[in-house]
A = this chain, B = another copy of it.
Amino acid sequence: MPEITYIEAIRQGLFEVMRAHPDVVLYGEDVGAFGGAFKATLGLQKEFGKERVFDTPICESAMLGVAIGMATQGLRPIVELQFADFITTALHQLLNNAGTLHYRTGVPVPMVIRAPCGGGFSGGPFHSEELEAIFCHMPGIKVVYPAFPCDARNLLHTAVMDNSPVVFLENKYLYRHIKEAIPAKHDPLPFGKARICRNGRDATVITYGAMVNETLHAARDLIDDTGYDITVVDLRSLKPYDKDTIMAAVASTNRVLIVHEAWHTCGFGAEIAAHIAENAFHLLDAPVRRLTAPDCPVPFAPVLEERYRPNSAKIVSALVDLIEY
């Protein structure tokens, strides 16, 4: 099995779904001959033609509105945002239009929005955001966020074949920083299934996206340096999220740290913490902790972003604190 990067896995997934399903179309800014700002779509227009893979003007609201129109008339559009950050110009199309349509009319809206997100590369306040909490608050919308190449490919298949609008979050830092051996055929991977990346007895970290990798580093460092052994849960799907796996992990470690790269207040971690606090109260030996970015715009200068963004070292010290509580 060849090792491929996270972005290569997404690209491969796109080729696969478009080959298998002639009703899939893909569009966005510069996704055609150019292959997209990150090259996730390179070669697709060549194989599938301009009718199925095309560049649009810069108009995120029209892009999403057009997808709703297409999805309700027999196509399965995939829209690439150049950066997730730009969707704030068009959230009415997501929350109010796509998210309510099936509920109001019974008509399915199978559309996927691919949104490159996250920081760690000096992208500054407008090219680094993590907006998953906002998406997850929206009724009618599903949200996934893979952390590994195989999951990215498998979830992409699931997303495209789902009959509801799906926000497919991709992490830009992972694009070229993580590789994995990938089988010839994708595996079915339903939404709402977390992955237990490792099992330990001392605490559980619940995380997703780029922070999975940081947490795995932290877990390795921690066992070497202190002997503490950590369970790492990669949520993969944020809406729906896997309550059973979370409960089982909490039950077996009794201590929980939630880690994400998004802002603290009303971040997705608050939802997980609240859920655990409500449903696993008697299982906890220590308070549920959150390690997140602080409530400030994503800063540009590397020294500031380093301070801003959670990483394996910060996870290690938060875990030591939690375990020694």
A140 interfacial by beta-carbon distance below 8 Å: yes
- Tell me which residues across on chain B come within 8 A of A133, comparing CB atoms: 133, 137, 266
- Report the bound CA distance from A290 to B276 in whole Å: 12
Closest to A132 in B: B266
Q: What copy number does this chain have within its complex?
A: 2
- Tell me which residues across on chain B come within 8 A of A104, comparing CB atoms: 125, 297
- Min distance, Cβ A207 to any Cβ of chain B, angstroms: 15
- Report the bound CA distance from A267 to B275 in whole Å: 12
Given contacts A274-B277, A287-B277, A297-B140, contact A95 B88 (CB under 8 A): yes
Label chain A's interface by main secondary structure: helix
- Report the bound CA distance from A80 to B270 in whole Å: 30
- Tell me which residues across on chain B come within 8 A of A263, comparing CB atoms: 137-139
- Tell me which residues across on chain B come within 8 A of A268, comparing CB atoms: 266
Identify A92's interface contact among B88, B269, B273, CB under 8 A. B88
- Min distance, Cβ A102 to any Cβ of chain B, angstroms: 10
A295 and B92 contact, CB distance less than 8 A: no
A266 and B271 contact, CB distance less than 8 A: yes
- Min distance, Cβ A236 to any Cβ of chain B, angstroms: 16
B274 and A288 contact, CB distance less than 8 A: yes
- Tell me which residues across on chain B come within 8 A of A126, comparing CB atoms: 96
> Quick one: CB contact mask for A75-106 with B, threshold 8 Å, 1 for yes?
00000000001101111100110011001100
- Tell me which residues across on chain B come within 8 A of A295, comparing CB atoms: 139
A224 interfacial by beta-carbon distance below 8 Å: no
B279 and A274 contact, CB distance less than 8 A: no
List the 3 closest pairs (A to B, CB-CB), nearest first: A277-B277, A273-B274, A281-B287
What is A's interface to B at a CB cutoff of 8 Å? 61, 85-86, 88-92, 95-96, 99-100, 103-104, 125-126, 133-134, 136-140, 239, 262-263, 265-271, 273-279, 281, 284, 286-290, 295-297
Given contacts A100-B297, A266-B266, A278-B288, could you give 8 more A-B pairs where the C-beta distance is less than 8 Å?
A85-B96, A88-B91, A89-B90, A96-B125, A273-B277, A274-B277, A274-B290, A279-B287
